[in-house]
Amino acid sequence: MTKIISFLKFIFHTSVLLLIVISLFPGSLIGLLLYGELSVQPNLIQNPFGTTLNHFIYYFYVALFGFCIYSRNESFQKLVYGLFFLSIVLEIMHFMIPNRTFELYDLIANFLGVGVAYLLITIYLFFKKS
């Protein structure tokens, strides 16, 4: 069981590292991989919000995954604050990175992704205690 938890923690930390790399790279790495062009931001799901939904999906995934792993740990609250702080820092860094722009909607989507994951885990832990 310890090996499984260690492997899941490795996947979580790798996902956070990938989030940082994708966010700080000047251009779109995913656009480069899919279309051969750094300037194209792909939509994971066609929607009227554009790439903002991508932000929600990835932050929700990372937050939910991390919260599930660390829900029984004293680091849980630090992880919650850390993910909110990371979303702010990465979005503010877009002011300084070429070919990137600060988007308030992306920051809101980042917060919503972390917040919804936190809400789901909190509800789960509440009913698990009962």
Q: How many domains does the structure of the chain reveal?
A: 1
Q: What does the block give as tokens for 21?
A: 């790399």
* pLDDT, tens digit, 9 for 90 and up, residues 98-125: 878 898 999 999 999 999 999 999 999 9
Q: How many helices (H) and strands (E) does the chain have?
A: 5, 0
Please report the pLDDT score of residue 9 as a whole number: 93
Give me the DSSP letters along 74-113: TTHHHHHHHHHHHHHHHHHHTTTSTT----HHHHHHHHHH
| CA distance linking residue 16 with residue 18, whole number of Å | 5
Region 41-62 average pLDDT: 81
pLDDT above 80 (res 43): no
* pLDDT, tens digit, 9 for 90 and up, residues 62-105: 999 999 999 888 888 999 999 999 999 999 999 998 878 898 99
Q: pLDDT category, 126, cuts 50, 70, 90? A: very high
Q: pLDDT category, 48, cuts 50, 70, 90? A: low
Q: Which domain holds residue 116?
A: 2-129
- Among residues 126, 95, 101, the alpha carbon closest in space to that of 51 is found at 101
Please report the pLDDT score of residue 71 as a whole number: 86
pTM of the model: 0.87
